[in-house]
Amino acid sequence: MTFLENITSPADVKALTDAECQVLTKEIRDHLITTVAGTGGHLGPNLGVVELSTALHRVFDSPTDTILFDVGHQSYVHKLLTGRYAEFGTLRQRGGLSGYPSRAESEHDVIENSHASAALSWADGIAKAHQLKGETERYVVVVIGDGALTGGMAWEALNNIAADQSQPPRKLIIVVNDNGRSYAPTVGGFARHLDSLRTNSSYERILTWGKERLQQSGPPGRAAYSAMHGVKRGIKDMVAAPQTGMFDELGIKYLGPVDGHDLEIMERTLQRAKSYDQGPVIVHALTQKGRGFAPALEDEADQFHAVGVIDPVTGKAQPSTSTSWTSVFGNEIVEVARRRKDIVAITAAMLIPVGLQKFAEEFPDRVFDVGIAEQHAVASAAGLSYGGLHPVVCLYATFLNRAFDQLLMDVALHKQGVTFVLDRAGVTGPDGASHHGIWDMAMLQIVPDLQLAAPRDATRLAEEFHEAVEVADAPTVVRFSRGSVGTDIDAIRRTSDGVDVLVEVPAGMPRDVLIVSVGALADRALQVAEELRRSGIGATVVDPRWVLPVPDSVLEGGKKHALVAVIEDGVKIGGIGSQIRQDLRDDDSRTGVLELGVPDEFLPHGTRDEILEYAGLSVPSMVEKIVHMLPEDIARRVARTSTTAV
């Protein structure tokens, strides 16, 4: 058996010799590559923290000492070192290991959410709790990437951590995992500060000197050993007398920068941080995203930040024959920007994932990557709009939650024309609870004057985006799903207020059910209508296109049917169905409304189809619920028809 297979807890890691640990780190890298190649996941970030995570578990005593990750996608090595080797092949699969820390999996996991920049606040609170409870020997250790430190919340926490003067001092250690990247290269003034520490420090000079000595020493031997010994001795001296910089001025002890891939150096530095008893300590570790996997290192875009199923040797993915929602949007915003010079784009450290790469290549002066700072992105967009431009803010749907106040009070209140493009809206799949984009529609429907579009296919995405950027005095939102966009679904006709009718009740059948299809679930809505028709139930299917505010023709159509069934991949509490129910009630209509949406709970991870089935949005489940909700007279008619048919 390998060393990795024998790891059942961090105690097993501590029991290894230094030489055995070197073998262990290679085993971990090999296992990460072969496993994640088969499951998909965050490969690059985890290859970069192998030695760092191993050193943490050799120096600290989890779970007595709390180890936090910001963000949790860099926790795969931590999972392997805390006894989850046997289950690692189930990573991100339905019923298997989460791609983030999970309390259900292990007592060693704490923060489950995958939204960056929050861990320092958690650490501040946990350390205060330890202190107030008299647990003065327990450490709190945070591993935070340089990308996560672009978020304002991290700096709010750092400000409070630095200001603490309590006695005895809290045992709080912040490990900055500095690889110069978040998803793509890290942006902003703080990134430049870290870069200056990285390139202008004694660390860089010592490594340069060591490399020169190695080059001069010829074949491996005593001279080479002497050179490397000198490098390590120099770094140890530097750690013992850390530099003065921004962190020292904040009142936080700073150690580094140190080589995050030198296990011995990492352990010594963490031990020194642990022995410091005057307050919080920052350990600045330099790491390389994708370390040990040549295809990742050669990938300039994101160094295999997140991958699907790939070849474990070449890193090549299976060629896709389908078109993604993201790529459709990416092409469309370029087309619009060519005609309109006022179009600018903003993203929060996600330029490539939200489809802005082509835009950035063609219009580099018109795209703004603000780092992991969604609040700033949206308030800045309000300013851009006031200045005479039309900003397009591109985010994952789940991350809009972080900037709701700015959307409400800075954009909507001031009637600024800002378009929000929400990628990965609805049920997204294997990234789990905090990545599902299921809250946006419920959250946004309370924003006055906001208009929200949910395209069902590529043609409607292009069409609705064009319409969105024409609105100059209110926020507009275009939301779309993850993955393949599928084939176009043409309408039979379009109403005067822009609602597409996809299916009409066949001649001779009563109007029993109006199915309101929201976004990418239109294909399922059509299947539901067909199943109802076979049972003798007349169903009309409409796609509002713009689901907020609810179009009048949808409400008028609802009054002509016995039941309105709203199919949406957002939470049904406060969702589009709830809004239609309220609007019909306000219009004195007694038509019943069935909300076929996502339950009010945190959804697990799995494929999109698996989670939609779990949420009750499979075609058989929706048909059953509709039939159950039909008024008694229709139910009796259907029962008679079925009996006659038999």
What is the per-residue pLDDT across 457-515, written as a single tens digit (0 to 9) for each? 999 999 999 999 999 999 999 999 998 999 999 999 999 999 999 999 988 899 999 99
pLDDT of residue 301: 74
In a domain, 238, yes or no: no
Please give the Cα distance from 514 to 560 (Å, whole number): 9
Please give the Cα distance from 228 to 249 (Å, whole number): 33
| Model confidence band, residue 641 (pLDDT cutoffs 50, 70, 90) | confident
pLDDT of residue 224: 44
Identify which has the larger pLDDT, 230 or 636: 636
pLDDT of residue 506: 85
Q: Which domain holds residue 442?
A: 325-479
Domain match, 462 and 500 both: no
122 pLDDT more than 70: yes
| Model confidence band, residue 256 (pLDDT cutoffs 50, 70, 90) | confident
In a domain, 487, yes or no: no
pLDDT > 70 fraction of the chain, expressed in percent and rounded: 89
pLDDT of residue 431: 87
pLDDT of residue 607: 92
Residue tagged active-site, from 58, 170, 402, 482 = 402
> Is position 529 annotated in a ligand binding site?
no
Average pLDDT, the chain: 90
47 pLDDT more than 50: yes
> Is position 374 annotated in a ligand binding site?
yes
Domain match, 360 and 410 both: yes
Mean pLDDT calculated for residue range 269-298: 93
In a domain, 610, yes or no: yes
Edge to edge, the sheet with strand 253-259 lists 66-70, 140-145, 172-178, 281-286, 253-259
HSE-CB for 223 with a 13 A CA cutoff: 10
Mean pLDDT calculated for residue range 545-554: 98
CA 34 to chain CA mean position, Å: 23
- CATH code where residue 471 lies: 3.40.50.970
Range with top average pLDDT, 78-92, 160-174, 193-207:
78-92
> Is position 162 annotated in a ligand binding site?
no
pLDDT of residue 92: 94
pLDDT of residue 635: 84
CB neighbourhood size of 342 (10 A) = 16
CB neighbourhood size of 340 (10 A) = 13
In a domain, 613, yes or no: yes
pLDDT of residue 646: 41
Domain match, 536 and 429 both: no
> Is position 78 annotated in a ligand binding site?
no
**Structure token pair of residue 17:** 């010799």
Please give the Cα distance from 582 to 560 (Å, whole number): 17
Domain match, 170 and 26 both: yes
pLDDT of residue 201: 53
Q: How far is CA 60 from CA 69, 266, 270, 617, in A?
A: 15, 12, 9, 45
236 pLDDT more than 90: no
Mean pLDDT calculated for residue range 71-85: 95
Q: Is 196 left (phi over 0), alpha (psi -120 to 50) or beta?
A: alpha
Least confident of 184-198, 291-305, 348-362: 184-198
362 pLDDT more than 60: yes
Domain match, 263 and 119 both: yes
Least confident of 83-92, 130-139, 239-248, 423-432: 239-248
- How many separate domains does the chain show? 3
Please give the Cα distance from 549 to 506 (Å, whole number): 29
541 with 526: CB under 8 angstroms?
yes
What does the DSSP assignment read for 209-271? HHHHHHHHH-SSSHHHHHHHHHHHHHHHHHHHSPPPSHHHHHT-EEEEEEETT-HHHHHHHHH
> Is position 293 annotated in a ligand binding site?
yes
> Is position 279 annotated in a ligand binding site?
no
**Structure token pair of residue 463:** 């069409």
Specify whether 374 is catalytic.
yes
pLDDT of residue 247: 73
> Is position 189 annotated in a ligand binding site?
no
**Coil vs helix vs strand at 320:** coil
Residue tagged active-site, from 138, 289, 424, 572 = 289
CA 441 to chain CA mean position, Å: 18
Q: Which string of b and e fits 181-198 if b means at least 16 CB within 10 Å? A: bbbbbbbbebbeebeebb
Domain match, 548 and 629 both: yes
| Model confidence band, residue 185 (pLDDT cutoffs 50, 70, 90) | low
256 with 285: CB under 8 angstroms?
yes
Beta pairing, strands 419-423 & 390-396: parallel
Mean pLDDT calculated for residue range 244-269: 86
Last residue of a domain, one of 298, 313, 344: 298
Please give the Cα distance from 532 to 535 (Å, whole number): 5
Tell me which residue has tokens 């001779």.
Answer: 508
HSE-CB for 380 with a 13 A CA cutoff: 17
> Is position 148 annotated in a ligand binding site?
yes
pTM of the model: 0.88
> Is position 114 annotated in a ligand binding site?
yes
- CATH code where residue 615 lies: 3.40.50.920
Least confident of 58-67, 117-126, 218-227, 369-378: 218-227
Domain match, 409 and 270 both: no
pLDDT of residue 396: 96
Torsion angle defined by CA atoms of residues 295, 296, 297 and 303, in that order, rounded to the nearest 10 degrees? 140
Domain match, 416 and 504 both: no
pLDDT of residue 104: 94
| Model confidence band, residue 97 (pLDDT cutoffs 50, 70, 90) | very high
In a domain, 368, yes or no: yes
pLDDT of residue 237: 43
pLDDT of residue 70: 93
Residue tagged active-site, from 105, 267, 374, 610 = 374
pLDDT of residue 533: 95
pLDDT of residue 616: 96
Domain match, 288 and 337 both: no
| Model confidence band, residue 226 (pLDDT cutoffs 50, 70, 90) | very low
225 pLDDT more than 50: no
Domain match, 501 and 471 both: no
SS3 readout for 87-98: CHHHCCCCCCCC
Q: Among candidates 350, 445, 352, which has minimal Cα distance to 399?
A: 350
**Coil vs helix vs strand at 60:** coil
In a domain, 107, yes or no: yes
In a domain, 553, yes or no: yes
pLDDT of residue 202: 52
| Model confidence band, residue 191 (pLDDT cutoffs 50, 70, 90) | low
For the chain, the straight-line distance linking the first and the last C-alpha, in angstroms and rounded, comes to: 64
pLDDT, tens digit (0-9, with 9 covering 90-100), for 8-39 = 999 999 999 999 999 999 999 999 999 999 99
| Sign (positive or negative) of CA dihedral 58, 60, 64, 69 | negative
**Coil vs helix vs strand at 14:** helix
Domain match, 452 and 513 both: no
> Is position 562 annotated in a ligand binding site?
no
Specify whether 335 is catalytic.
no
222 pLDDT more than 60: no
Burial class of residue 559 in the structure, from the number of CB atoms within 10 Å of its CB (0-12 exposed, 13-18 middle, 19+ buried): middle
Give the residues across from 178 on adjacent strands.
Answer: 286
Please give the Cα distance from 391 to 383 (Å, whole number): 9
Domain match, 197 and 89 both: yes
In a domain, 555, yes or no: yes
